[in-house]
Amino acid sequence: MDIILLKNLDKIGRKFDIVKVKDGYGRNFLIPQGLAIVANKVNRNNLDSFKRQETSKLNKQLDVFKNIAAQVNGKVLTITTKVGTSGKIFGSVTNIQIANNLRDQLGVEVDRRDIIMPDDHVKMIGRYTAVLDLHPEVDSKIEFEVVPDDPELAKHFQELAAEAALDAAAEGDSDNL
């Protein structure tokens, strides 16, 4: 079954792509959920009209998206979470938490579906970068640091990082001799 996607869908396609899916998936899920329409002759002819409407709508919001990008570029979010002694997070950091922290820490509203995480799951403490897919003409990234909510563990991991940096520096000096 050929369908026209009305939203960006992972592993299927981008908005307004004509893709082939299994009949049951298209009929029973994508079309009733409003994620796609049947790619019949009438809808294919109207596809250019759909694209023009979407483009004009996005262009009206372009200044808003550029403002959001300017506010988040160069900033680092701090996400506190429960962590084990090995530095592994209980659970994972998701795009929902990034969206909530953007709103709380920077006062910026971004839809969670517009946040593309660096890996499938962020499961360790450290620094990561997520991509904000706001508009095709606006490239924006947000850095976030995952830290333990327990101050004792945070201090422990800072000490370990400092020791590792000293060891790396010492190794670098011994290689130059």
In the chain, domain spans: 2-60, 65-165
What integer pLDDT is reported at residue 81 of this predicted model? Answer: 87
pLDDT of 175 strictly over 60: no
How far does Cα 95 stand from its chain's mean position?
Answer: 6
CB-based contacts of 126, cutoff 8 Å, min separation 6: 87, 145, 146
Please tell me the CATH code under which domain 2-60 is placed. 3.40.5.10
Determine if residue 90 is left, alpha or beta; phi over 0 gives left, psi from -120 to 50 gives alpha, anything else beta: beta
The pLDDT assigned to 38 comes to 94
Beta strand pairing call for 126-135 and 115-116: antiparallel
Whether 176 has a pLDDT exceeding 70, the answer reads no
Judged against a pLDDT cut of 70, whether residue 169 lies above it is answered with yes
- Average the pLDDT over 38-65 and give the result: 86
Which CATH number applies to 65-165?
Answer: 3.10.430.100
Start-to-end C-alpha separation, the chain: 68
pLDDT over threshold 90, residue 21: yes
Angle between helices 41-60 and 62-72 (to 10 degrees): 60
Residue in the structure block whose two tokens are 């009305």: 6
pLDDT of 150 strictly over 90: no
pLDDT for the residue numbered 34: 92
Query: Tokens at residue 165, please?
Result: 């940096």
* Mean pLDDT of all residues in 4-32: 91
* pLDDT score of 48 more than 70: yes
> Number of C-alpha atoms within 13 angstroms, CB side, residue 157?
18
Indicate if the pLDDT at residue 177 is higher than 60.
no
Residues 5, 69, 119, 122, CA torsion sign? negative
Higher pLDDT, 176 or 9: 9
pLDDT (mean) for 125-149: 85
pTM of the model: 0.64
**For a pLDDT cut of 70, what percent of the chain falls above it?**
96
Tell me which of 6-15, 51-60, 102-111, 166-175 is least confident.
166-175
